[in-house]
Amino acid sequence: MTRKSVLLAALVFLLSAGDLQAKPQPVTAPRVIDVMAVDYAFAVPTEIPAGWTTFRLQNRGREVHIMSLAQLPAPVELREIRALNSAYVRDQHQLKSGSITPEQAAERWQEMEPSWWGDIEMQGGVGFVSPGQVGETTLYLEPGLYELTCHIKTRDGKSHFIMGMRAHIRVTGEGSATVAPTAQAKLTVSSDGLVLAGELGRGDQLVEIHYTDSPDPLHDVHLAKLDGRDSELQAAHWMKGVQAPAPVIFLGGVGHLRGGESGYFSASYQPGHYMFLCQQHPEEQLVFEIPEV
Ligand SMILES: [Cu+2]
């Protein structure tokens, strides 16, 4: 190549690079990630791109499930969290079988609790989903390592987490830009309770769940289809133990997010009564009716 052609090639490269930079990045709807929940495991992809993401959780099991999502602090490696989970599960099995005492289990946890344990951040997730139902929750994901867990208890009182309902997803920095979906209604969650703005009608509806800053930051939102007079009381009571079976049909929701953040979830509404409620504060309930017309 002559000096002139090298310069020309460099000029073409610079022009095309400039051209690339000037092009607006395509913006897409949230990416849909299918998650299968069975008794007692999650089937999920191991790696997904960052951005607005819809988790579509199909409950193919016979017990209700939840998909809580937590972001692990940056230095934590996958093998580290897996080893910690395995050691904890081993101790819980030994505790159940009576081969160690609750004091010994607590002592072992104290010894292995890593310094970063308190830095784990809850990042929403899909609320309670009853068998045969699908929960669809849309969240914004930053790159990092995430843990998915279910903390429902079996009919004989064992945690689904212990039984194997835990998985990890690495969220990478690649992929096209995504935008948040447009919701039909907004549910604001604060220490004052749940406030719904907008009308919900029949059919598929998307609700924005917005968490405000709160002195007690642990809130979550779940949607239940009510059936019968006492079912709202039964659902609120069930929240204290979250042991299968559930007294109502759960249709998903949005797990805890930081103050100021929103997640979205869709459900198909039929005429009848529904309730939004918080597991952490079962007294926070919002009952509403979807009319026939
Ligand atoms: Cu479960």
What is the whole-number distance in angstroms between the Cα of residue 96 and the centre of ligand 1? 19
Distance 126 CA to ligand 1 centre (A): 12
> How far is it, in rounded angstroms, from Cα 14 to Cα 117?
47
Q: What pLDDT does residue 37 have?
A: 98
pLDDT at 223: 97
pLDDT tens digits, 123-151: 999 999 999 999 999 999 999 999 999 99
Is pLDDT above 70 for 28? Answer: yes
Report how far ligand 1's centroid is from the alpha carbon of 132 (Å): 13
Give dist(CA 127, CA 130) in Å, integer.
10
> Ligand 1 mean position to 154 CA, how many Å?
8
pLDDT above 80 for 7: no
Q: Is the pTM of this model over 0.85?
A: yes
For residue 10, pLDDT over 70 is answered with: no
Residues 168, 81: contact at Cβ < 8 Å?
Answer: yes
Q: What is the pLDDT of residues 78-126, one digit of tens each?
A: 999 999 999 999 999 999 899 999 999 999 999 999 999 999 999 999 9
Cα 136 to averaged position of ligand 1 atoms, centre (Å): 16
For residue 226, give the 3-state DSSP assignment. coil
**Residue 214 pLDDT:** 60
Amino acid found at 168: H
> The tokens of 145 are what?
């390592």
Sequential DSSP letters for 69-118: EEEPPTT--HHHHHHHHHHHHHHHHHHHHTSS-HHHHHHHHHHH--TTGG
User: What's the rounded Cα separation, in Å, for the pair 152 and 182?
Assistant: 31
Instruction: Find the 238 Cα to ligand 1 centroid distance in Å.
Output: 15
CA of 87 to the centre of ligand 1 (A): 20
Å from CA of 110 to ligand 1 middle = 26
Q: What is the 151 CA–ligand 1 centroid distance (Å)?
A: 6
Q: How far apart are CA 158 and CA 181, in angstroms?
A: 37
In 3D space, the residue among 71, 64, 70 whose CA is nearest the CA of residue 252 turns out to be 64
Q: Which domains does the chain have, with CATH numbers?
A: 30-126+138-177 (2.60.40), 179-290 (2.60.40.420)
Specify the DSSP class assigned to residue 199: -
pLDDT at 25: 67
Indicate whether 16 pLDDT > 80: no
**The pLDDT value given to residue 11:** 44
Contact call for residues 134 and 55 (beta carbons, < 8 A): no
Ligand 1 center from residue 64 Cα (angstroms) = 6
- Contact (Cβ atoms closer than 8 angstroms) between residue 246 and residue 221: no
How many angstroms does the Cα of residue 24 sit away from the middle of ligand 1?
42
Query: Which residue would you say has higher pLDDT here, 192 or 63?
Result: 63
Residue 1 has pLDDT above 70, yes or no: no
Rg for the chain (alpha carbons), in Å?
A: 23
Token pair belonging to 72: 């692990």
- The CA distance from 223 to 254, in Å, is 9
Q: What is the DSSP letter of 169?
A: E
Quote the ligand 1 centre to 12 CA distance (angstroms).
57
Return residues with CB closer than 5 A to ligand 1 (ion).
65, 150, 152, 160, 165
How far apart, in Å, do the first and last CA atoms of the chain sit?
Answer: 76
**Per-residue CA distances from 218 to 178, 256, 277 (Å):** 28, 6, 13
Q: What is the pLDDT of residues 204-251, one digit of tens each?
A: 999 999 998 765 668 899 999 998 778 989 999 999 999 999 999 999
Q: Write out the two tokens for 82.
A: 């897996």
Distance CA 261, CA 213 (A): 9
CA of 65 from ligand 1 middle (Å) equals 4
- Separation of 253 CA from ligand 1 center, angstroms? 15
**pLDDT score at 230:** 87
Nearest to 161 by CA among 269, 89, 236: 89
Among 57-61, 214-218, 289-293, which range has the highest average pLDDT?
A: 57-61
Q: Cα–Cα distance between 137 and 229 in angstroms, integer?
A: 29
